């Protein structure tokens, strides 16, 4: 965001209308992509912005170069050194440990759930889930995306905080609910007959996450006794 601010400040100081026209598409992309996610109601995970980040950094460096004037070499050296120091600190003490824990949880939870679904469900089963990637890939099942990214019909319900109503109107065969507590729908949830199959704990889905999140796998079915809660 500092890079974006530097880019805007650089063009404002230049008072160059041609500069704004020349870089209008870049500005539209930098501002428009986050706004698009926000307006659509889709929760934007950091990986969704990978196509955005390089342009933010490039525009920030270009603005710093423009603003530095005759001190460009000194400014560029300072920017490179500060960026390197920041990245080393973040990687070694913040991002690195969190990313390693995230990767372990991804294999232990998402990948294993996807494989379990692929081995234990009908080929035409529909699975509703919020974090779709690995589960959809390894299960090979049709995915109902409760985040709305690949199931846009969910988005109007999501904006109103009524995703559960969508599930009631379009019931899947299985649902994976992510929550700070295990089996969150044991007391309140969609008006469906749910059988709890598994609960898996996930560490460091977010960098600031202090405790585990829980993936609760439910089967949507008729009358049946819920199976014993399994926490791994």
pLDDT over 70 at 122, yes or no: yes
- Alpha-carbon distance of 181 to 117, in angstroms, equals 22
Helix (H, G, I), strand (E, B) or coil at 210: coil
* pLDDT for the residue 116: 97
Buried b (16+ CB within 10 A) or exposed e, 171-205: bbbbbbbbeeebbebeeebbeeebbbbbbbebbbb
For strand 213-220 and strand 194-202, is the pairing parallel, antiparallel, or unpaired? antiparallel
SS3 177: strand
Quote the pTM value: 0.71
Instruction: Sort 105 into a burial class: Cβ within 10 Å, 0-12 / 13-18 / 19+.
Output: buried
What one-character-per-residue DSSP string does 46-105 give?
GGGGTTTHHHHHHHHHHHHHHHHGGGHHHHHHHHHHHHHHHHHHIIIIIIHHHHHHHHHH
Alpha helices in the chain (DSSP H): 2-14, 17-22, 24-40, 53-68, 72-89, 96-105, 112-120, 133-139, 155-159, 163-169
Q: Residue 127 — φ and ψ, nearest 5°?
A: -115, 120
| Tens-digit pLDDT profile for residues 177-202 | 999 999 999 888 899 999 999 999 99
Q: How confident is the model at residue 227 (pLDDT cuts 50, 70, 90)?
A: very low
pLDDT at 192: 94
Asked if pLDDT for residue 14 goes beyond 80, the answer is no
- If one compares 79 and 15, the residue with the highest pLDDT of the two is 79
* pLDDT tens-place string over residues 25-44: 666 777 777 787 777 777 76
pLDDT at residue 230 tops 50: no
pLDDT above 90 covers a percentage of the chain that reads 42
Residue 56: predicted pLDDT = 75
Neighbours of 145 (CB within 10 A): 20
How much is the pLDDT for 151? 94
Backbone angles phi, psi at 221, to 5 degrees: -155, 180
CA angle 53, 58, 59 (to 5 degrees): 100
pLDDT band at 5 (very low <50, low <70, confident <90, very high): low
pLDDT at residue 225, rounded to an integer: 43
Range 216-229 average pLDDT = 66
Asked if residue 23 has pLDDT above 80, the reply is: no
Residue 136's pLDDT is what? 96
Q: What is the pLDDT of residues 46-80, one digit of tens each?
A: 667 777 777 777 777 777 777 777 777 787 788 77
């Amino acid at each position: 965001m500092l890079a974006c601010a530097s880019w805007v400040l650089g063009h404002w100081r230049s008072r160059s209308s041609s500069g704004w026209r020349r870089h209008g598409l870049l500005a539209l992309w930098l501002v428009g992509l986050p706004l698009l996610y926000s307006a659509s109601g889709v929760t934007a995970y950091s990986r969704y912005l990978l196509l955005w980040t390089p342009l933010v950094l490039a525009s920030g460096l270009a603005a710093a170069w423009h603003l530095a004037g005759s001190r460009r070499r000194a400014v560029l050296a300072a920017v490179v050194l500060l960026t390197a120091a920041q990245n080393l600190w973040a990687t070694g003490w913040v991002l690195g440990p969190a990313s390693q824990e995230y990767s372990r949880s991804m294999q232990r939870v998402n990948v294993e759930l996807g494989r379990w679904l692929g081995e234990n469900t009908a080929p035409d089963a529909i699975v509703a889930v919020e974090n779709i990637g690995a589960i959809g890939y390894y299960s090979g099942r049709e995915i109902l995306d409760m985040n709305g990214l690949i199931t846009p019909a969910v988005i109007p319900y999501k904006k109103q905080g009524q995703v559960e109503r969508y599930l009631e109107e379009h019931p899947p065969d299985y649902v994976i609910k992510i929550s700070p507590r295990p089996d969150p729908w044991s007391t309140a949830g969609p008006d469906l007959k749910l059988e709890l199959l598994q609960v898996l704990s996930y560490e460091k889905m977010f960098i600031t996450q202090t405790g585990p999140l829980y993936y609760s796998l439910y089967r949507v079915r008729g009358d049946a006794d819920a199976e014993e809660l399994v926490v791994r």
